[in-house]
Structure 1
Amino acid sequence: MNKKLIKKILLFLFLGILLATTLTSIYINFDKLPNSLDNRLRDYFFTIRGTIKDNESVVIIDVDEASLAEVGQWPWSRPKVSELLEKLTQANTAIIAFDIVFAEPDKSSPHRVFKKYNINFPNPPNYDKILGETVSNTPTILGYVFEFSKEKYTNKKAPTVPAIFVEKNKHLGDDYLLKAQGTILNVPEIQDLAYSSGFFNNIPDDSGIIRSVPLVISYNNFIYPSLALEIMRVITQTQKVIINYDEYGVENIKLNNITIPTDRYGRLLLNFRGGEKTFKYYSAKDVLNGKITQKELEGKIAIIGTSAAGLLDLRATPFDSVYPGVEVHANVIDNILQGDFLSKPSWIDGLNILLIFFLSIVTVLFITFSPFWLNPILSLTLLMGTLFGLYEAMFKYGLILNIFFPVVTIALGIILATLVNYFSEIKKREAIKKKFASKVSKSVMDNLLKNMDSNEFQAMEKEVTIFFSDVRGFTNISEQMGNAKELIQYLNEYMEPMSNIITKYEGTIDKYIGDAIMAYWNAPANVKNHQDKAVQAALEQLKELNKLNKKLKETNLPLIDIGIGINTGLAIVGEMGSIGRSDYTVIGDPINLGSRIEALCKYYGSKINISNYTKDKLKDKYIFRFLDSVKVKGKTKPVEIWQVIGYGRPNKKLQIELEKYNIALKLYKDNKFLEAKKQFIDLIKNKSNLNKNIYEIYRERCEKYILNPQNDFEDIFEHKTKK
């Protein structure tokens, strides 16, 4: 791994940690607004999950609008309520609970009316006492309300609870439970005759939504259970309720063998079963009229409450903005019965912080080191994967992890990494453009910009295809031009289209040497089929040169003729030079050989010469003519020189000429110089569109070997000079 990559990884790792540290600080110190937004996001989880099946152990006896219309305005007379209790008891209902408090005496009670009007009547009926006696003779648990405002109520009487509450591991001075200031109890004639009772305070959070309910409340240094908890205590026959603490507050509440996880304040985080009327509702009037069968009520926990809007027991929950308060208690009981609790253990903050750090680092590194086009896919995958994980943790494992901070972490990580990458890329692009402006093709430039942190610029051995071109007779041309300015203008008119063609075919221009051009392929960026690209560029240059010469002829300027040499081989490529001044270039034997091959264009009368090293790796179809096996100056190993004539396949006339030429070559290589000479003379005499220099060269060689026979003949010609 190179130093630049390590440096980049460390930089973005630092950015990820910095982002995580900032978000963790907000998570710890400024949690009010994030918590509100987090709760809203969690509400969507409930919406996505939808309604789930309840235990069917809890039913709601609803004092609904229909019941009020038939029986009369609330409050009903106590005998009517007693009748409702008796009907439920007769149906073998297991437990009856009131989500209603009878805080005021029944004003319609005869004993109260007779007393008011001084009517002397022996033992007039006391409706409150009648209800109290019914409560004592039925499996009824009363409800009451705690008051938390010191100014509003002065009632200090406390209800009785037939159980012991033990606080374990509580540190002296720790006060986590909600503390009540007063009570709103049932009238004594009812309250004092009840076996048990529980508070039914439903306390919304700061956003006004019920998401948790207190299971216990502290009042005058005693602990009292909620209506739902008291119902479950009675069902489980628990005599000693254990409230377990840890260093962060309440951890759980135990009823015999049932452990109920809570938050640090002793509140149960509700796993709502669904929206309004997820539980079975029975209208109170139908119970009174005997329309509900015993089978429907037998063994059930019946909670008497109201869904009537006028009685003001409607709440907001994650599912509904208008939700009967009585159904909140049903959810609590069903959560305990099914044991599918939602909880925030004391260690959950540590896990949330760990998740922030993990997502921050992963997001920043993902966005930094993935292709730009892949970033939206990765970002969406990471976000959806995180949300799915949080959803699974909540509903499969009952763990409530923070949702807001992971979502914000991913979003800010994406933005931060993208911005840093953006400004970094701008800086790199400017550096690249400055170094390679007008030297490489757009595709090569784009590839370089994508791989700035790779080893593209370090010196290395790499296969390249080298290209040399040179203007023939440039000295004569310069003499014909009037002055240097005109010469430069003339030369630029040639150089510009030639250079554009090289870059078009993904070549890199190394340098201009007077009238010569040196270029190469497959460096600095990889170029697929670079041998073909070089040959195609050379052929297109000849085609473009024909157009240019027509234009030059029309303006009476000297025509241009060029020779091109192409070779392929392993060369050293990279940035070379001094610290203050360097250039990206290629060096090595293949470059020298490419220059020699171009110089031999004059000797063979060809336009494009390539080595066998290039020819052997070409993929496309071209028309070739073998020229020679030679040893160039400074080299001992022979190389084959081939002339590239054009694309595709030769026409019939050209095919015949090439076949004759190949026959003549074979005769020459087989030491049959007389026969070969005759063939070469025929080729010289015949009309041809090809240059005949090579035929003359081989005719002369045949004559030489005829006059001076050699026993150790090799068809390899050694060039003693560079040109």
Structure 2
Amino acid sequence: MSALQRLSARLHGIWKIRKDTLIIFCGILLTCAVASLYVFQPLVLSSIELKLYDTLLKLRSAGNPSGHIVIVDIDEKSLAQYGQWPWPRYRISQLLEKLREMGAASVGVDILFTEPDRSSLQNIQREIRSDFHCAISLSGIPPHYLDNDALLAGTLKEGPFVLGYQFVFGDRIEKRTRLHPVDLLFKREQGVSDSENGLFKPSSVDGLFQPLSEATPASGFINIKPDHDGIIRRVPLIMEYEGRFYPQLSLAVLLSVAGMDQLVLSVGQAGAESLSLGGLEIPLEDKGSFLIPFRGPRGTYRHLSAADILNGTIGNREIDGRIVFVGATAPGLFDIRATPTDPSMAGVEVHANIIDSILQGDFLLRPKAAVFYEFIALLFFGLLSALLFAHCKAVVNLTFLLLSALTAVFLPVYLFRKGIYISPLYPALAYASNFSLLSFLDFWHGERLLKEKARLQLATQDAMLETIANITETRDSETGGHIRRTRSYVKALAEHIRNKHAYSETVNDAYIEQLFQSAPLHDLGKVGVPDHILLKPDKLTAEETEEIKKHTVYGKRVIDDAQAKLGDSSFLNLAGEMALYHHEYWDGRGYPTGLKGEEIPLSGRIMAIADVYDALISDRPYKKGFPHEKAVEIILAGRGSQFDPGLTDAFGEIHGTFKSIAEQFADAGIHESLRSKTPRE
């Protein structure tokens, strides 16, 4: 027995003795394993949890966009009309001036202007002088057209514009630029240090080109870091840099519209909890991050082409009083972000989703105690499943499994629609894991019991068949050894021919096992033959010969009666075939039906060789048993007349196996040459 088999048997024994205790122990152990996964958050499970969040977001009915936000696209149409990107900044100036004139409440520009515009005429003049050592004249051109940055700066001073910049984490960038901080008041929970605020703290800033940063009335950072799967779900609204606090671009635009520059940050033991803007409280996650409740895929908000704005084909009513975001959405401009609702959303649309959710007061909140709730639910469902499995029936367990599945689906959806996100992943994983493992253990235990029961049933069946056959044999000169020998001959011959083409479609493991079980019944019909015929030592008369031939029909009749009571059985089918056909001849001269060739069932043809061989080597009232070699010679001589040619050839190949079987189960009725080689008891 292998080590694995010994372990399986030991577990099976423990299971039988202390089943309930083992179930609860396994349930506790698996629940602890899931709890450890919850603590360490392996990448594969955290990825599943993020996908679960995305699914909940898509199922959430977030309402329609407010209508207060318009996106002005630098799209393919704009590039086709006004040339490739980046545009000279005088054209950006023209676009912003148009938006100011059309009555935009505030314009957030999601474009970085970190370096001077190289397309300014004075810069081109300078580069030509440096590169080609020649001068070009700019006389006659008004001075204010020579510097595109100056034109843009002049426009910025006049309007409600908010530019974007980017904070840097890591290597410090030394760059002089003006930023626009907010006045941030703190509301700290008791016990929280005055130095703690739980916000991101960048090392430097890749800011605006200084003349533009000095001219713009407001600015905000555009940092958006995706989760580890590359999808954007959250964004920090406030960062601390060199002791001052700076807003995200969308928040800066909102402050510009509201005319406010003061915010209140609530800080608890776990970090930043919420940001108050007037009477509106915005919930925050770790590091001051804001969960973005995306309204839908790209195109959810009103989009206008920058070309149409510049051409004057858009009426003022499309812009008047609205918040405008200007951004690049053309596919080649690389400002595409993956979000839960769309794998290719422009960055400017992300900003639109942020500000619209704040305007509508529609927030997503992951409670600070969510970890506690999820951990308690994990333990509860894990232990509950173990207790139910230990003490309840399968129907009850299945009912609770379905109820738990429904709870895991509908409760998170309901809470998410209320703006609360609590993950059902780990509680559901604990219940499902316990249910699966304990079901497997119970199934394994049941399978072991069934196998044991089947083994006992087969052993009982085999013993009963042999007993019935022995009862038959007691009326004849044959013995129980004949039964054991013939069934072993049949099995040996069938195993030898299983790989021969002529028999491979029929002969397989199941067929061989059924032959082995059925063989003892091949002479069952002898119980119907009178003793004075069956045991007659002299030659039988013609009438007596015909009477003894009927044992084949009698045996088939008895087996058919049993089969009618027990139902269809391949085992009994083969038993009936062997009982009826084992005296048929290949050339059709046999009895009782005179079938010939392959009309005779294969089981009958196999038994014919086995029965004749054993009859030849055994003593009978009317003859002495032949030696093995003589019996083989007689059977081979019957090839194509009495026996199936293919089976006869197969017998010739393994007749030594027949001899070994005869020696193994030899008794007093076997020829001396075989019996002498059997060890005495």
TM-score between both structures, scaled by the size of structure 2: 0.59
Aligned equivalent of 2:405: 383
Amino acid at match of 1:354: I
> Which of 92, 99, 102 is residue 81 of structure 1 equivalent to?
92
Measured after TM superposition, the shift of residue 74 of structure 1 is: 1.8
1:115 deviates by 5.5
Are the equivalent residues in 1 in contact too, given 2:57–2:340 (CA < 8 A)? yes
Equivalent residue letter for 2:414: E
Q: Tell me, in whole angstroms, the C-alpha distance in 1 between the residues paired with 2:20 and 2:39.
A: 28
| SS of alignment partner, residue 208 of structure 1 | coil
Q: Secondary structure at the residue paired with 1:242?
A: strand
Specify the alignment match of 1:68 in structure 2.
Answer: 79
Question: 2:47, 2:178 → 1: CA distance?
Answer: 34
The structure with the largest strand share of the pair is: 1
Offset at 1:555?
A: 6.5
Distance 1:328 1:422, change over 3 A: same
Tell whether the 8 Å contact from 1:50 to 1:274 is kept in structure 2 after alignment: no
Equivalent of 2:51, from 7, 28, 40? 40
Alpha carbons of structure 1 residues 294 and 368: separation in structure 2 relative to 1, 3 Å:
farther
**1:98 correspondence with 2:119:** no
- Contact (CA 8 Å) 2:227, 2:233: kept in 1 or not? yes
Q: Which residue in 2 is equivalent to 1:303?
A: 325
Q: Which segment drifts farther, 203-212 or 169-178?
A: 169-178
CA distance in 1, matches of 2:386, 2:455: 29
Structure 2 residue identity aligned to 1:139: P
Q: Match for residue 169 of structure 2?
A: 148
Deviations 1:504-556 (A, max 9, x none): xxxxxxxxxxxxxxxxxxxxxxxxxxxxxxxxxxxxxxxxxxxxxx9999879
Q: Find the partner of 1:133 among 139, 146, 154.
A: 154
Quick one: distance in 1 between partners of 2:31 and 2:193? 33
Alpha-carbon offset, residue 129 of structure 1: 1.9
1:127 Cα deviation after fit? 2.2
AA paired with 2:371? D
AA at the equivalent of 2:110: D
* Contact kept? 1:51, 1:273, Cα under 8 Å: yes
Change (3 A) 1:130 1:370: same
Contact 1:198/1:224, CA 8 A, preserved across alignment:
yes
One-letter amino acid of the structure 2 residue matched with residue 58 of structure 1: I
CA distance 1:194–1:124, change in 2 (3 Å): closer
Distance in 2 separating the partners of 1:255 and 1:123: 44
The reply on whether 1:272 has 2:283 as its aligned counterpart is no
The equivalent residue for 2:352 is 330
TM-score (norm 1): 0.56
Distance (Å, rounded) in 2 between the aligned partners of 1:299 and 1:426: 74
The residue correspondences of 1:387-426 to structure 2 (distance < 5 A) are 387-394=409-416, 396-425=417-446
- Identity, in percent, stands at 29
Letter of the 1:96 counterpart: V
Which has the larger helix fraction? 2
Distance 2:447 2:123 in 1: 90
Instruction: Report the secondary structure of 2:339's partner residue.
Output: coil
Aligned-pair CA distance for 1:268: 0.7
1:688-709 CA-partner distances (Å, limit 9, x unpaired): xxxxxxxxxxxxxxxxxxxxxx
- Encode CA deviations 1:29-64: one digit per residue, 9 max, x unaligned: 345442222112222333445885222221111101
Q: 1:399–1:379: structure 2 CA closer, same or farther, 3 Å change rule?
A: same
Q: Determine whether 1:257 maps to 2:279.
A: yes
Structure 1 gaps of 5+ residues are 440-482, 484-488, 490-549, 557-723
The 3 A distance-change label for structure 1 pair 123 and 341 is same
In the superposition, relative to structure 1, how do residues 182 and 158 fare at CA in structure 2: closer, same or farther (>3 Å)? Answer: farther
Structure 1 counterpart of 2:319, one-letter code = L
The CA deviation string for residues 317-337 of structure 1, in whole angstroms up to 9 with x for no partner, is 112222111111111112212
Q: Is the 8 A contact 2:381 2:428 kept in 1?
A: no
1:365–1:91: structure 2 CA closer, same or farther, 3 Å change rule? farther
1:42 partner letter: Y
Distance 2:335 2:98 in 1: 24
What corresponds to 2:522 in structure 1?
none
Matched, 1:160 2:148: no
Q: Distance in 2 between matches of 1:220 and 1:60?
A: 33
Give the direction of change, closer, same or farther, for the CA distance of 1:115–1:552 in structure 2 (3 Å limit).
Answer: closer
Alpha-carbon offset, residue 296 of structure 1: 1.9
- Closer, same or farther in 2 for the Cα pair 1:417/1:326, shift >3 Å? same
Q: How does 1:529-678 map to 2 (within 5 A)?
A: none
Answer yes or no: is the 8 Å Cα contact 2:183–2:245 preserved in 1. no
Q: What displacement does 1:435 show? A: 12
Q: Which amino acid aligns with 2:99?
A: L
State the one-letter code of the partner of 2:288: G
Query: Whose relative contact order is higher, 1 or 2, with alpha carbons under 8 Å and at least 6 apart?
Result: 2
Paired residue secondary structure (1:346): coil
Q: Is the CA contact 1:93–1:302 (under 8 Å) kept in the aligned structure 2? A: yes
Output aligned runs, 1:342-361, within 5 Å.
342-361=364-383
Map of 1:667 onto structure 2: none
Aligned residue pairs, count = 452
How far residue 408 of structure 1 moved from its aligned partner, in angstroms, is 2.2
Distance in 1 (CA, whole Å) between partners of 2:327 and 2:391 is 60
